Amino acid sequence: MDDNVYNRFNSIKTLYYSEHLKAIANGEIPLPVIWHVYPTNKCPHNCSFCIMKQDRAGLEELPRETLLKAVRTAKKYSEAIHFSGGGEPLMHPDIMEAIKEAKGITRIMSTNGFLLTDEIAKELDSVRISINAGT
């Protein structure tokens, strides 16, 4: 798969999936190209500017089986899985198992990078590191 497809700033990305646009125009609902999974809303930081700060009040995470079911579903119906969310996906205790379970489709992660290791990075096809900061 072309790496440019997953570049959210690629202005012609929709052209890669013209068959999806045709299906939508015909009243169909095509399967997602990328399956987004939010493993947890936990984060090792407490940034004052974070737009998700209020959502983290409960400090919740997907149960292991729900996370793995989401991965299996993504493998069956989409081309890629993107681990991201309102928190740091690497805070989930079963994230490495989920990443390995997703082998066979493109595996993407958005992270703040604080908990990222070489071992985890090698399992992923694409890593987006947020460099949001107060200044």
For 21-58, the pLDDT digits (tens) are 899 999 999 888 889 999 998 888 877 777 776 666 66
Name the pTM for this structure: 0.81
Give the residue carrying structure tokens 């169909």.
28
The set of residues, in sequence order, having a beta carbon less than 8 Å from that of 84 and lying 6+ positions away, is 36, 37, 38, 108, 109, 110, 111, 128
56-107 pLDDT tens trace? 666 689 999 999 999 999 999 999 999 998 789 999 999 999 999 999 999 9
pLDDT at 56: 60
Strands of the sheet with 106-111, listed across from one edge: 34-37, 80-83, 106-111, 126-129
User: 50 vs 130, which has greater pLDDT?
Assistant: 130
Question: Which runs of consecutive H residues, i.e. helices, occur in 52-116?
Answer: 64-77, 95-101
| CA–CA distance, 16 with 1 (Å, rounded to integer) | 10
Q: Is the pLDDT of residue 10 over 80?
A: no
